[in-house]
């Protein structure tokens, strides 16, 4: 029986076997619109989907060049406006036009790559900014692991159409490549074009790759890879395909709409954090009864400290003011199933649905998801506040698990991965005209 967050296989969207591949995924250099270096700090903003409208309005206050005026255009309209009204999308286009008109953004003279490095404490992520092909996404050479929601696809498609640009990149993963690694290290040995530190303490550094020999070397490295993987940005990817297909159906020129904006990171240079869960009630059970139910599948032991799981099939449970460490006993999960063996699936299949009645975590208002960057202290705070009855800390889903599942054409449960640090928006834009 399929979980509500899964779906029947789509024959038209099946991932081709290696024997049938007629092409390899490509990452193309392009002429980016980018802020003048001295304005990058003021322009750059968090991604549109990690902050609320109220937070965006506060962040952009007094800063007319903040890219939030483009990605969250409702902040410049009356607070009563529907975020998905036509006027909001038109306002986003006005804001984008104004930034270009006033010279805040300038366009590259020729197609280039950008090396984008982020540093958060000891964590360093290095990616390549480029364009990927809509056809590679449609065929499965750019592989997905999540379902998309039609309403979010609609929103992103309308936003891109109004701007006539891809303004926020998709976060992709590529297999490790020694030549590409060495090439990027060489690029980063030179002085950067842009460097700034955001208020959360994360360093953002960018190098523009203009040397034709280096551009060719980077392109060739990607041509040797069998696939790329979406880490974050499933709705933006789906919207890019929908926009391209809509233009083809209408007989309109697609211009640059057959490609979309991405930052591609090596599989071994990513920081993946857990995506924890809190549930509002115990489905009528007392804390003791709830823990007794868990003992059917798990070995439980109390913990004097918050539990941050490090082993596969290990979970932290915070209930009634106390932490418990839960370890799944062998034989309770099919380890050959790439989806079933994920810890997020184990929790859903053995605890959230049968014990707490959370059948569809995408739609059930009783469950909430807490990014691992906020730590176990946030789980304690939420439960101690009385808003939630129980919290679960999980081990981070590995990049290897994500790739194995995507290679098998399977779908992860919602909110399975949390990548940190987040890409900053407004540092490069792909205009479709």
Q: Are residues 173 and 280 in the same domain?
A: no
Residue 41 located in a structural domain = yes
Please state at what angle helix 150-163 crosses helix 234-249, rounded to 10 degrees: 60
- pLDDT above 90 covers a percentage of the chain that reads 82
295 is a domain residue? yes
Would you say residue 384 lies in a domain? yes
Are 36 and 130 within one domain? yes
For residue 143, tell me if it sits in a domain.
yes
User: Quick one: pLDDT band at residue 316, thresholds 50, 70, 90?
Assistant: very high
Residues 220 and 151 in one domain: yes
Q: Which two tokens stand for residue 236?
A: 């933006």
pLDDT value of residue 9: 38
Q: Are residues 29 and 121 in the same domain?
A: yes
Residues 32, 119 within the same domain: yes
In this structure, the answer to whether residues 248 and 312 fall within a common structural domain is no
Residue 203 resides in a domain? yes
Q: 113 near 199, Cβ under 8 Å?
A: no
349 occurs within a structural domain: yes
Residues 263 and 151 both lie in one domain: yes
If asked whether residues 203 and 351 sit together in one domain, one would say no
Give the distance from CA 4 to its chain's centroid.
Answer: 21
Q: 72: domain range?
A: 11-271+420-431
* Beta strands 194-197 and 203-209, pairing class: antiparallel
Beta-bridge partner residues of 142: 228
Cα 311 to Cα 309: distance, rounded to the nearest angstrom: 6
The Cα–Cα gap between 399 and 271 comes to 9
User: Is residue 264 located within the same domain as residue 279?
Assistant: no
Exposed e or buried b per residue across 158-190, where buried means at least 16 C-beta atoms within 10 angstroms of its C-beta? bbbbbbbbbbbbbbbbbbebeebeebbeebeee
DSSP summary character for residue 351: I
State whether 227 and 333 are in the same domain: no
Q: Is 376 a member of any domain?
A: yes
Output the CA angle 124-127-129, nearest 5 degrees. 150
Same domain, 164 and 112: yes
pLDDT in tens, 105-159: 999 999 999 999 999 999 999 999 999 999 999 999 999 998 888 899 999 999 9
All residues at 6 or more sequence positions from 311 whose CB lies less than 8 Å from its CB, including other chains? 327, 395
Determine, yes or no, domain membership for 260.
Answer: yes
Would you place residue 27 in the very low, low, confident or very high pLDDT band (cuts 50, 70, 90)?
very high
Mean pLDDT of 40-67: 95
Tell me which DSSP letter residue 411 carries: -
Taking every pair of Cα atoms in the chain, the longest distance, rounded to a whole number of angstroms, is 67
How many structural domains compose the chain? 2
Q: Name residues whose C-beta falls within 8 Å of residue 53's C-beta, 6 or more positions apart in sequence.
A: 72, 74, 75, 83
Q: Are residues 222 and 132 in the same domain?
A: yes
CA distances from 26 to 29, 130, 137, 196, 291 (A): 10, 9, 11, 30, 50
Question: Residue range 411-419: average pLDDT?
Answer: 84
Predicted confidence band of residue 3 (pLDDT cuts 50, 70, 90): low
What is the domain-level CATH number for residue 318? 3.30.1760
Residues 115, 126 contacting (CB under 8 angstroms): yes
Q: Check residue 334 and report its DSSP letter.
A: -
* Mean pLDDT value across the chain: 92
């Amino acid at each position: 029986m399929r979980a509500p967050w899964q779906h029947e296989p789509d024959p038209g969207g099946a991932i081709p076997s290696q024997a049938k591949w007629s092409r390899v995924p490509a990452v193309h250099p392009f002429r980016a619109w980018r802020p003048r270096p001295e304005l990058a700090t003021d322009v750059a903003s968090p991604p549109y989907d990690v902050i609320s409208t109220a937070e965006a309005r506060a962040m952009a206050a007094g800063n007319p060049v903040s890219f939030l005026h483009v990605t969250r255009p409702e902040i410049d309209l009356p607070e009563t406006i529907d975020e998905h009204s036509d006027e909001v999308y038109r306002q986003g286009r006005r804001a984008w036009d104004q930034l270009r008109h006033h010279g805040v953004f300038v366009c590259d003279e020729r197609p280039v790559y950008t090396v984008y490095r982020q540093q958060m404490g000891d964590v360093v992520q290095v990616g390549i900014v480029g364009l990927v092909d809509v056809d590679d996404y449609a065929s499965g050479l750019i592989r997905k692991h999540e379902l998309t929601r039609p309403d979010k696809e609609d929103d992103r498609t309308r936003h891109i159409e109004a701007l006539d640009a891809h303004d926020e990149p998709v976060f992709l993963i590529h297999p490790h490549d020694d030549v590409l690694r060495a090439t990027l290290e060489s690029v980063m040995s030179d002085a950067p074009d842009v460097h700034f530190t955001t208020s959360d303490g994360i360093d953002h550094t960018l190098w523009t790759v203009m040397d034709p020999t280096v551009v060719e070397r980077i392109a060739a490295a990607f041509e040797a890879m069998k696939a790329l993987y979406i880490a974050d940005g499933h709705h933006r990817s789906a919207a890019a395909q929908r926009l391209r297909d809509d233009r083809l159906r209408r007989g309109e020129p697609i211009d640059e709409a057959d490609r979309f904006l991405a930052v591609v990171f090596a599989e071994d240079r990513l920081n993946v954090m857990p995506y924890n869960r809190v549930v509002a009630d115990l489905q009528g059970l007392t804390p003791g009864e709830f823990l007794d139910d868990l003992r059917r599948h798990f070995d439980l032991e109390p913990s004097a400290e918050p539990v941050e799981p490090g082993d596969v099939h290990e979970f932290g449970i915070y209930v009634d003011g106390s932490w418990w460490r839960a370890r799944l006993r062998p034989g309770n999960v099919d380890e050959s199933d790439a989806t079933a063996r994920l810890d997020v699936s184990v929790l859903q299949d053995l605890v959230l649905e049968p014990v707490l009645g959370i059948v569809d975590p995408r739609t059930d208002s009783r469950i909430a998801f807490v990014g691992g960057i906020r730590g176990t202290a946030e789980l304690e705070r939420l439960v101690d506040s009385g808003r939630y009855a129980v919290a679960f800390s999980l081990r981070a889903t590995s990049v290897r698990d994500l790739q194995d599942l995507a290679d098998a054409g399977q779908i992860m449960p919602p909110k399975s991965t949390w990548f940190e640090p987040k890409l900053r928006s407004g540092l490069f834009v792909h205009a479709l005209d």
